[in-house]
Amino acid sequence: MRYRVLGGTGIEVSVHCLGAMMFGAVGNPDHDECARIIHAALDGGINFVDTADMYSAGESEEIVGEALRGRRDDVVLATKVHFPMGEGPNRGGNSRRWIVKEVEESLRRLRTDWIDLYQIHRPDHTTDIEETLSALSDLVRQGKIRAFGCSTFPAEDIVEAYHVAERRGLMRFRTEQPPYSLLARGIETSVLPVCRRLGMGVLTWSPLASGFLTGRYRKGRPIDLTTGRAALMPARFDPAIPVNAAKLDVVERLLEVADDIGCTLPELAVAFAAAHPGVTSVITGPRTTEQLESLLKGASLTLDDATLDRIDEIVPPGTNVYQPDGAWRPPVLTDPSLRRRPVGERSAA
């Protein structure tokens, strides 16, 4: 297993990070099997585990906390805050009120006195970024977290947060956690260059593009939309939808690349994400022990320039074959009122 320093913190993390999103009701509800997966990952050289408070409504954190009993000091533990945890107002977001309350809940579920990396799961434009950075800086001083980062932030928000921290004498985001895969290379345009300039570590998620890079879904083969992930979100997998057809076309070409260098498509996908000089660690979220074992087999795979050139021809740098599922969209795109003048002003013009 290879290790890299996390965003100037001096903390060394494995190039492969164990993602815990699939632990619990959403993925694998068998706590004992999830614990075996975590232990197998640690035994395989992984020392970095990433979860979030909202994964299976806290169940993932509980599973991780129980599994790390007796091994906590050997693990760099990351979790996240932002998404609602329960009904009612003020039970989510990036306010000081919520962060200060929810970090205590995460510490309790994780059975630990400190969190190595505490991340803001998504932007929140209803909260001043100074408010968020101030709360996180206080948590570092209190010893409850060692460092903090952001997740799925656009480049402009990362830059704003950096300058606010500088002006106000606050601690700054040390990491960013964006989606990145062979099918979604959009962060190469600005997010990765900005993070490199600011000395931030980068933990990428969804290297298998929500399953499309597992090799399970192939062009011309029927896709069962009534089971598994496809049943939960059929529009993501229906081959009759043009964007899914485009993904399947690209997968066939990438399979040829994998075959030519003697690896599996998932191994190629993870190795690709780890090859970028701006990426510190690649998060993989296995649901079963078998999935973990297949990923660990490719942990030492590196890609030469000829292979990377072939990939660039198939999916040009900085382009997305599809918009990554779960990626954040700014309110100016989701709320029409933010991009349309009032009717009266329009007619007056």
Closest residue by Cα to residue 123 from 80, 61, 168, 187: 80
Strands 281-284 and 201-204 come out as parallel
Catalytic residue (choose from 55, 162, 180, 322): 55
| Residue 217 annotated among the catalytic residues of the structure | no
Q: Which residue has the tokens 């973990």?
A: 292
One-letter amino acid of 90: N
Query: Can you read off the two tokens belonging to residue 317?
Result: 């740098």
CA 69 to chain centroid = 25
The helix (H) or strand (E) run that includes residue 147 is strand 145-151
Between CA 225 and CA 348 the distance in angstroms is 51
By CB neighbour count within 10 A (0-12 exposed, 13-18 middle, 19+ buried), where does 124 fall?
A: middle
Query: Exposed, middle or buried: residue 274 (CB in 10 Å: 0-12, 13-18, 19+)?
Result: buried
Quickly tell me which residue has 């879904």 as its tokens.
217
CB hemisphere CA count around 116 (13 angstroms): 19
For 221-232, b where at least 16 C-beta lie within 10 A, e where not — what string?
A: eeeebeeeebee
* Catalytic site positions: 55
